[in-house]
Chains A and B, each alone.
Chain A
């Protein structure tokens, strides 16, 4: 780890001013940043610790009915906030399916948005990686790439964004509140992360010194509460990043889908909102055939970036399943294994809902 300056501002303006200098990084809980620093993957000259900033740890309902989550709210606190979880059950489920209890207790929601990829070559400083070292190449392209992107990738980078939390947020039309040297601005979460193109090192729209202050969910997002699920495929039952995941939300009127929301995780450099798949479902009956059609549509543009064609097939299946589960209704209680295919399914029978 390199030597760095450590600054702990107590006001937003100070923090922004401090971080506007090149080579600065914000530090929230550090569950990602400190690992990256210990591995020499990032080497900031200046750490701006934001954990003492006021008012960033609040969950509040605004006058227009939208919900505002401060950037320093802990992942666990948000997931266990009863009112929040009741209105946005898929978000709570996604949060609780991520990492471990210890990490969720520490990690901030802002940090979750800004966590870096889990691409193995990104972490291995002896490997070529355009994201870590622009222009050096990409060792994953011809190397280990089973977990890499199938959507939105470019030959310069095939890594994915690993967040669970961001997936239902993308589906629900979340807004990211940003404050920087030039003032405040709002950006849709789906526009917040960038696709790699030829600059995979630039991952978000944040400019130097800009801080994520809060995340907002619009009032209408709560309209999906009755039919919301997040589902995550993993190589072990818990404490693993997603192979591929899906958030599915339905607004049903008399068994007909008035509106559907679908987003897919771990398939691209950003949480992937599948709007064309949502359109497939509008006005349709909540039936397996349509869910499968929507799932196919969600991956219509997908192509393997390496030895990962399986992800496309598994991705389709998980979208179809998430829709099926959402149509069956949000569970009244958080499953003991959140987002797991092994969570007991409501109303399942021997040949029931699992087999779509």
Chain B
């Protein structure tokens, strides 16, 4: 078992089920009082500190490291370089499945991107290790870095998580040729860097042949398998603890080179080692959102209906691994057209490998598609909402599959009403506020697939009537400790206060990955199934026992509620869990449950969450400074387990949309390949003053096909739709179409 601190549920009044209650985070108190122990807060006895030395060139070879100088620095214990790095059981460059990303574990002297680890200095203090890393004073044989999107493009087979790089329905060229009007526009999105509040950190502790690792992980079971493969250990010898993540956004889905290097360092010195990345080190070795250049060609009929959408993405990946930002795929789901074609091309550049980053593909694709749709509405002379409704996809475009559920019309309706969209003048540059600032209103459609992965959970009911529910789930700050516990409690018919919920450790059942907005659905369904199974066992005990008031009730069935089993046909007859167990002489009873997507349903239905985002911007007509003054989003994402947490997720996504449209950009020196704004002073994300008014409406939606609980997931959808809504509002305010993101004041000059 792990040593995750027990979480108090806080005081609350329950009316009916736990699901649906707007509970505050059960770990909130721990977090605000500093009691929540994050990976780097662990300080086992004998701990040493490791600091990475990273490459300042993007391409070439390390020719010298002054290891002597570093070792001579007081406090430095050892320096790990390719020559003395402990042996690994497998090659860090091996790739036996698409999700096995190649690592930089000092396997040689090559440098393939700026920020790549080239040595690890281990010392008694963090400060000594830091200075030791500087004293290494690396020299290089430098080759010209390849940067930008101008290289020779090629066509990858797969993009994103293994989607086909090309898809089409109908004949795009013929439709475009026959269209009453066409438009073509090119949109550019920059590289963005995952920057969770908590940088990647690891505390690695070898205990004989056992390895204990404290590190933030969005995928504990995968982390164990990766470590097992690299170190030649059996999984049972590895314990990964990750009770809290200070954010992940996709960059903590797979163990990074830095985390493995921490484990190697601990092995080298045979003492526990802590390695935490600095903020600047987050800009390189732990993934990023790749830049894109997207070309959209759109055909329109006389009636304002879309005739064709051609969405072509050019992106960049690293020279040594494959991840391709699947931006064009957004055009698979949103708008109906007789012909749709999506395609991807890529160039190889000297960067760290890009990775999944909150709404990978959807975020980049959405800002381009929603801008293009706005341009198309303008071309068609229609209000942007009217245009979207006219081209509403009743079935999933390209695949032709019906939607398992789709309350997007309701999202449009409720969002528009709340925002006051009906009063929007069609013409741009027609609204001013009382201070003379330009005002613009824009909208965008949000969408994200309703994914499910595989997971397991364990349920225990104890003779004292309490329960234990567990799965190795991941709380990235999104609230899994709370939402999953709500599902878990309902699954065994107990109030939350009577259930111990365990998560965040690899010795618990595999909860899958906290990604793809599928964690609540996946881990939640596993808990639900485990609960169902344990209740069934308990019911067997009772209904076969002559002394139980439930004897013989197996035909009519029983239900679990409030710590009791009740006859389905007569709820006045029932028995408490504890009584059943005690009579059977059992101290507890347990069962496991498994979840995964229903493949049959998924073959026949398209499953997505949807939303509509409405934005107001104000712009100073002369000084060109831009501010998003109002955002209203309405989202339909199936069943809402905890409206408070869901609203926060949607807010977070929408704020990232603001960031995408107006702020965030990793600025690279084209010559050196280094990111030159790698800190929070210069890598801008929105501050509170950038988001003065924010609303998220939760639109009712029922969906029995996605999973039994009807959950679709809300982690990423908020970022889609929002960026485009802001860009469209900027056009509406100024009459200027800006197609390069983020949009800056200087772009509005002239």
Interface of A toward B, CB cutoff 8 Å = 1-3, 40, 118, 120-121, 123-124, 126-127, 139, 142-144, 146, 233-241, 243, 310-311, 313-314, 317-318, 320-321, 337, 340-342, 344-345, 348-356
Contacts and interface: CB of A to CB of B under 8 A. Distances in A.
Interface stretch (B322-330, B381-389, B429-437): B429-437
Contact of B623 (A124, A341, A349): A341
B52 to A, nearest CB: 15
Contacts of A356: 622
B239 to A, nearest CB: 34
A317 B622 CA distance: 7
B150 interface: no
Given A126-B56, A341-B623, A235 B435 contact: no
A243 B745 contact: yes
B669 interface: yes
Nearest to B686: A236
Contact of A1 (B131, B437, B677): B131
Given A233-B624, A235-B745, A350-B436, 6 more contacts: A143-B676, A236-B686, A314-B749, A342-B625, A349-B434, A353-B436
A237 B693 CA distance: 14
A221 to B, nearest CB: 26
Given A120-B676, A314-B749, A342-B627, A337 B689 contact: yes
Contact of B746 (A127, A314, A341, A342): A314
B602 interface: no
Contacts of B407: none
Contacts of B689: 236-239, 337
Contact of B682 (A120, A311, A340, A342): A120
Contacts of A311: 746
B690 A237 contact: yes
Given A236-B686, A314-B623, A1 B749 contact: no
Given A144-B669, A238-B689, A342-B618, A317 B627 contact: no
A351 B432 contact: yes
Nearest to A43: B134
Contacts of B670: 143
Interface string B667-687: 101111010110101101011
B687 A237 contact: yes
Contact of B620 (A118, A126, A320, A341): A341
A318 B663 CA distance: 21
B738 to A, nearest CB: 14
A144 B673 CA distance: 12
Contacts of A143: 669-671, 676
Most A C-beta atoms less than 10 A away, residue of B433, B435, B667, B679: B435
A144 B676 contact: yes
Contacts of B502: none
Contacts of B621: 354-355
B127 interface: yes
Interface in B4-27: none
A139 B677 CA distance: 14
6 contacts: A118-B681, A233-B745, A237-B625, A345-B436, A348-B436, A354-B621
Contacts of A313: 749
Given A126-B672, A143-B669, A144-B667, A118 B682 contact: yes
A229 to B, nearest CB: 13
B721 to A, nearest CB: 21
Given A314-B623, A341-B620, A239 B134 contact: no
A15 to B, nearest CB: 25
A236 B690 contact: yes
Nearest to B685: A236
B311 to A, nearest CB: 29
A345 B622 contact: no
A238 B670 CA distance: 29
Contacts of A314: 623-624, 745-746, 749
B662 interface: yes
B130 interface: yes
Most chain B C-beta atoms within 10 Å of own C-beta, residue among A237, A340, A348 = A237
Nearest to B621: A355
B623 A121 contact: no
B709 to A, nearest CB: 40
Interface majority SS (helix, strand, loop, mixed), chain B: loop
A350 B432 contact: yes
Contact of A352 (B435, B671, B672): B435
Residue from A118, A127, A342 having most chain B Cβ neighbours under 10 A:
A342
A139 B672 CA distance: 10
B435 A345 contact: yes
Nearest to B138: A126
Interface string B682-715: 1010111110000000000000000000000000
B158 interface: no
A348 B434 contact: yes
B498 interface: no
A269 to B, nearest CB: 19
A240 to B, nearest CB: 7
Nearest to A126: B56
Contacts of A146: 746
Given A342-B437, A349-B436, A318 B623 contact: yes
Given A118-B682, A239-B687, A314-B623, A350 B746 contact: no
Contacts of A1: 127, 130-131
Nearest to A142: B671
Contacts of B437: 341-342, 354
A3 B123 CA distance: 15
Choose among A120, A139, A238, A356 the residue with the greatest number of B CB atoms under 10 Å from its CB.
Answer: A120
Contact of B684 (A121, A144, A235): A235
B744 interface: yes
Contacts of B57: 126
Nearest to A351: B436
A2 B131 CA distance: 6
A43 B689 CA distance: 36
B435 A348 contact: yes
A48 B542 CA distance: 78
Contacts of A342: 437, 618, 620, 625, 627
Given A121-B676, A342-B437, A236 B746 contact: no
A234 B744 CA distance: 10
A288 B687 CA distance: 33
B436 A354 contact: yes
Contacts of A40: 134
A136 to B, nearest CB: 14
**What 7 pairs between A and B have smallest CB-CB spacing?**
A354-B436, A126-B56, A237-B689, A238-B689, A310-B746, A120-B676, A341-B620
B127 A234 contact: no
A41 to B, nearest CB: 12
A321 to B, nearest CB: 6
A120 B672 CA distance: 13
A341 B676 contact: no
Contacts of B688: 238
A121 B624 CA distance: 27
A340 B625 CA distance: 9
A205 B481 CA distance: 58
B134 A321 contact: no
Contacts of B671: 142-143
Best-surrounded residue of B74, B127, B622 (most CB of chain A within 10 A): B622
Given A321-B623, A341-B625, A342-B627, A238 B435 contact: no
B623 A126 contact: no
Contact of A235 (B676, B681, B744): B744
B131 A344 contact: no
B435 A344 contact: yes
A236 B661 CA distance: 12
Central interface residue in A123, A235, A318, A352, by most chain B CB within 10 Å: A235
Interface in B606-651: 618, 620-625, 627
Interface string B62-101: 0000000000001000000000000000000000000000
Nearest to B679: A123
Nearest to B431: A350
